[in-house]
Chains A and B, each alone.
Chain A
Amino acid sequence: AQKVTQAQTEISVVEKEDVTLDCVYETRDTTYYLFWYKQPPSGELVFLIRRNSFDEQNEISGRYSWNFQKSTSSFNFTITASQVVDSAVYFCALSEAGGETSGSRLTFGEGTQLTVNP
């Protein structure tokens, strides 16, 4: 069974601080995908990043960066120089690779509420 744990329920920072959101996952699959989504108060899930299990290179996109470590089953997300607009709930999610006949459903963590104060 797959499981995603986001131990930080809420984080509050002051604008311009760096913040790291933790994600630990469990899976028996050797091929899988990890995702981060942002959910602002309006409710839609906004895709941020997707990584496959064979690519452990860290990724940077503007102020966002991701650290994937298979050895610790972690896929952490760092926001550098946080801004008020970053305030949202962030979800880490895991999916098996799937294929032509298997579903590749997403298993989500419980989310981390990030509040960035001015």
Chain B
Amino acid sequence: DTGVSQNPRHKITKRGQNVTFRCDPISEHNRLYWYRQTLGQGPEFLTYFQNEAQLEKSRLLSDRFSAERPKGSFSTLEIQRTEQGDSAMYLCASSSTTGAEYGYTFGSGTRLTVV
């Protein structure tokens, strides 16, 4: 297992376009988290899945954002009608059920630039 994989690493898009990011977690991990990190800030929680169920969403996750985790394996995060304020690093992490106790593994992130 090579850890948490995120694709693409970088994405530049024009304002108003839709973008989709992919996260492949560690295969044994049933929890998957999405975070957003803007320049100079710490990562902020967006949403998390346990298996295929999306169990929690942050207020940061506007209706332009949607995340899925079909079959409880990889996850996708889609942003519709992108805005310049969406420019950020999007980080994915995975963990076992009791993530805090056993830790989280983060991917290298997808850096989104909206022009």
Are A and B subunits of one complex? yes
Among the 9-residue stretches B20-28, B69-77, B78-86, B96-104, the one with 4 or more Cβ atoms under 8 Å from chain A is: B96-104
- B41–A104 contact, CB under 8 A? no
Supposing A43-B89, A47-B103, A111-B41 touch, asked if A100 and B97 sit within 8 A by C-beta, the answer is yes
Chain A interface: which size bin?
20 to 34
CB-defined interface of A67-109 with B at 8 Å, one 1/0 digit per residue?
0000000000000000000000001010111111101111111
How many of chain B's residues have a CB under 8 angstroms from any CB in A?
Answer: 30
Cβ < 8 Å to A, chain B residues 43-65 = 43-45, 48, 50, 55-56
A95-B107 CB under 8 A given contacts A109-B42, A111-B42: no
Q: Once the chains bind, are B104 and A106 in contact (CB under 8 Å)?
A: yes
Partner of A110, one of B41, B45, B100, B109: B41
